[in-house]
Structure formats: structure tokens, C-alpha cells
Structure 1
């Protein structure tokens, strides 16, 4: 156990689907931070969403590796269930004496309730969700409004990329913003066995791991790769929906050298796909420090990424970038023919990862921000107590 003992500070983590991690970057981060803080002596609670057909028990508590898992049942699936889950997490968190770390701002309309109850709120503002072209105007307006609410309902805004911090500075003064990126781990073991199940061999394929969305440029990547025979494979990892026109366009554009694996959540398989690829292709255009790109750097991947400030700030200038299908094709051809270029990019990726995206550094920074909020809450409570106990004047 850590250093705080009987006076252990407390933190609640809101905004993820819960832990143990099984979904995405926020869940992985929540798990890493929760376990780190428990080992340091914190009391940690993480809210976990359970989608059910009918609610049997709205709240229940479990414990996992010293973390309190606050399970909340919500009827249904999709955005409405998530919003309902977020509402119940805020109602519960408001009544607990703890710092509230909120991951994302999609339901920030609820955050003023936490402030009314005197909670200290830290919000990881994630990417600029309202810029994503996949959303309707109404949904983009909802995200835009919630971004502003989060900015002014949180005592501290956490940006995971300097360009996100610049954006947030148009909403709040710089003194309210801190930049803490996402982390990753070096790959200690790269079992090639999962490759055989997909018909792949080491260094003879390119890989893309992403949600299949227009702002992730999967169509451009597939079109660029499929313009001619490559004598290698492009592996596209991500879920496809049969009724989605964008997904259908990607599949129609693909040559027979493209493999669509669907979504893969098995860590061993994902690690093998990254660790043995000739290069990682990353088309994201909206967001900050992308977890998948950080993991590719830690895997020592040569990277071909969409050319924007988010990706350049994460991967560094030693990697390769594209802006459209033509430049993506040129990048692919360079990767496939130039072994020296790939070797240099791989070495640069590991250097970039070890200098900027080490989990221990990132988790220490989150602890420092959380502890500052906890101590401020204690000081405020002490002042209120002294004021309440002050003797009336004679």
C-alpha cells in the first residue's frame, strides 16, 4: 500500500464504460490510473456501465484489485443508455467525498450538479468531438455546447495534446489547463502465432487499427493501397456494419490483397499485428494524442499518418505523412521499397515513445493534479468548519 495511510485521498473515475478494460483508450487509461493510485494508497472508485434489457439492481458495488467498481445497470443500448448511465454516475458521485475525474465531455451538461455539491472536477477533454463529420448538425451542436459547459464546470481541464490545449485556451484561461498525454508500454514479447491464423507472415503486411469512420481516412488508405498489386497485404482492423454506406465503399474499393479482420479485442492478436507489421497506417484527423498511434510507436512501427498537427505532434517528424490518396500511395510505395527508411522510422518511433509517452510519467502527473484538487477541497472544508464554529460577537 502507498504513502497516504488513514488519511488516504479519494478519487472517482467517470466517463468510461468501466474496467477491467475491454473497449478502448479511456477504459485502458482508467484501469491503469486506478491500479496505480490504489498502489499509492488512494481510495479509488470507477463507474462501470452495464447495459441490460430490464434493470434488476440499479447500483451494486464490487471490488477488483483494490478498486471499487460501482456497477450501474441501464436499460437499452447506444447513446441514450450512455447518457442515462452518465446521469446516474453524477447523481452518485455528487454524494461521495472524492475528487471526480471525468473522461470526456459528451455529457458535460450534468457536471454543474457536481459543482453544486462542492465536488472538485477534473475533466480530460479528449478530442474535438463536434468537428467529426460523421455527426449530424444537431449532434455536433450538442457536443459543442457540452464542450463549453465542461470548460466552465471543471476546476481543471486536462488536454492530451498541446494542440488540444491551444483549442481549450479559446474557452478557458491557460492557467486552468494542463497537458498530459496518453501512455503506452514497450512490447516485451511478440508471439507471431496469431499471424498464421490470418494467413500473414512477419514484415509482409501493413496494418491499420481504427474505428471505421470518415475522419479516420480508411477509404483513402484502402484506395491508395489497392491501385495496383503490392505483393503484400493491408490488414484493416475495425468493425464493419453491413448497412453503412461508408463501410460498403471501403470494401468495394479493396483489392484482394486487403484483409478485413473485423474488430479485434484480444490483446495478444493486436500486439502481434502491430509488432510484426512492416508499417502502421494511421488516418485520424480529429483528436489529440491517439492511443492507437502511441501503441504503434511503442511497437516500433514505421508510421504513415495523415498530415495534421495532432499526428505530427505525436509521431514526430521522422515518420511519413499523407494528405490525400495520391500522397498516401507514394508513402506506401516508399515503405515497401526502402528498407533503410523503414529501419530509421522504426528506431525513431521507439525514441519518440520513450521520451514522451511513458505511463509512469503520465500517471504521476494525473496523481499530482488529483492530489492538488483533493487538498484544496480539504482546505475549503476546513475554512467552512472554522467559520461555522466561530463564536458570535458579544
Structure 2
């Protein structure tokens, strides 16, 4: 708000995305294609851009002896940056990389069954993939910038650099996944349903 006021001399309204279009999917029909569904894994879906901290996260998983694999779905072939990362990390242990998945059920089965959702975005607003992860009731590990904290109401688990992330991943068994999951789902139902978002748009338009 302050930036828009200072830069453009006008007021602004911040309205998040809705997320109740996503749904949990049972893993069984997809186990043959995605064998890792039968075991714990960390999951991310995002654009493959430097500001999403993908390389940092890949390095942490591939260079350390972590007991859990990292699965990422993203547009690897859309840029030189993405292609470089794919070439470097697609053959590393503990890392599983997929190109974009546009079938909603197939994408939902990968994210709704993950052990934790890892969100590394460092720039932007209320990112759709983050609020969708919340609505799926996923325990979330997020990069600790202000907008991630605000989106998750400071109720997720946060990291600020690769050392923080490694330390978190090394003690996952100490975290209360069920509690984290319940809190994220409750917050999402209250704040990120399309009904709640529509009410905010109506309120904004009436105030103009």
C-alpha cells in the first residue's frame, strides 16, 4: 500500500486468490506412474525463476544426506536458467523433476499427498500455489519473506537461507505435521475460499 501511494499517489486494495477449486486425490490410481507416492516426499510446483529459490533448494537436497526426496513440477524448458538447472540436477539423488502437469487431478495427487510443501518464492503477493497448498491442508515450509508470512498468517515454518532449510529438513520428525496441516486448512477455508474473495471484491467496488 505504502509503495503504491508513494509511487503513484493513489490508494490500492490487496485481494488474495481463492483456492477452494483444488481437491485432495487418493494416490492409488497413480502409484504405478509415481512410485514415490507410497513414501514421504517434499513437493513444489512453481515457475522456474531465480526469485523462487529453486537452485538453493535443489542444492540442499542434492548435496546432503537427507532421508526424504524432493519432487518439483515446473517449466524447466522455458528459459536457459531452467534448462541449466534441469541438466545439472535431474540426475542427482534425492531429486525428482517433472515438466508442467496441466491435468488438475494428476497435479493434485502429487501435491495433496506430499509430506511437506516447500514454497521458496521471494517476490510477489499471495501466490496461487501457496494458497492452494494451504487449502489442501499441506504442512508448509516457506521462505521467510513478509508476504509469505502474511499469506500464512505466520503459522507455517520458515527459512531464510540454505542453512536454515537444511536444519529444518534435518529435524522434520520434530515438527507436528497434523497440527500444521489443520491450521493451514482452517486459515484457507476462512480467508481463501472464492466466496470470501468475492466478498472482498464487492466491498472494494462499493467503496469506489
Normalised by the length of structure 2, the TM-score is 0.87
1:108 equivalent in structure 2:
none
Aligned pairs for 1:282-361 (under 5 A) are 282-335=119-172, 337-338=173-174, 340-361=175-196
Residues 197, 291 of structure 1: CA spacing in aligned structure 2 closer, same or farther, 3 A cutoff?
same
Which residue pairs with 2:198 in the alignment?
Answer: 363
1:125-144 paired onto structure 2 within 5 Å? none
Give 1:191 deviation, angstroms. 2.5
SS of the residue corresponding to residue 75 of structure 2 reads coil
> RMSD of the alignment, in Å?
2.3
C-alpha deviations, 1:311-339, integer Å up to 9, x for none?
0001132211112211111122232x23x
> Gapped runs of 5+ residues in structure 2?
none
Task: Write the mapping of 1:71-150 to structure 2, written as runs, cut at 5 A.
Answer: none
Give the Cα separation in 2 of the matches to 1:242 and 1:357.
30
Equivalence for 2:18: 183
Higher relative contact order (CA 8 A, sep 6+): 2
Deviation of 1:257 after TM superposition, in Å, equals 2.0
Contact 2:61/2:69 (<8 A) preserved? no
Relative to 1, partners in 2 of residues 1:361 and 1:223: Cα closer, same or farther, differing over 3 Å?
same
Q: Deviation at 1:233?
A: 2.0
Contact 1:209 1:237 in 2 (8 A): yes
Q: CA offsets per residue over residues 339-372 of structure 1, 9 Å max, x none?
A: x522221122112212321210111222344466
> Which residue does 2:98 correspond to in 1?
261
State the Cα distance separating 1:166 from its structure 2 match.
Answer: 3.3
Which is strand-richer, 1 or 2? 1
Deviation at 1:189, TM superposition (A): 4.3
1:235 — aligned with what?
71
Instruction: Give yes or no for contact 1:294–1:357 (8 Å, CA) kept in 2.
Output: yes
**Which has the larger Rg?**
1
Give ranges in structure 1 of 5+ residues lacking alignment.
Answer: 1-164, 374-394
Q: Which string of whole-angstrom CA distances, capped at 9 and with x for unpartnered residues, describes residues 243-287 of structure 1?
A: 614541454246222111111111101111111000111111111
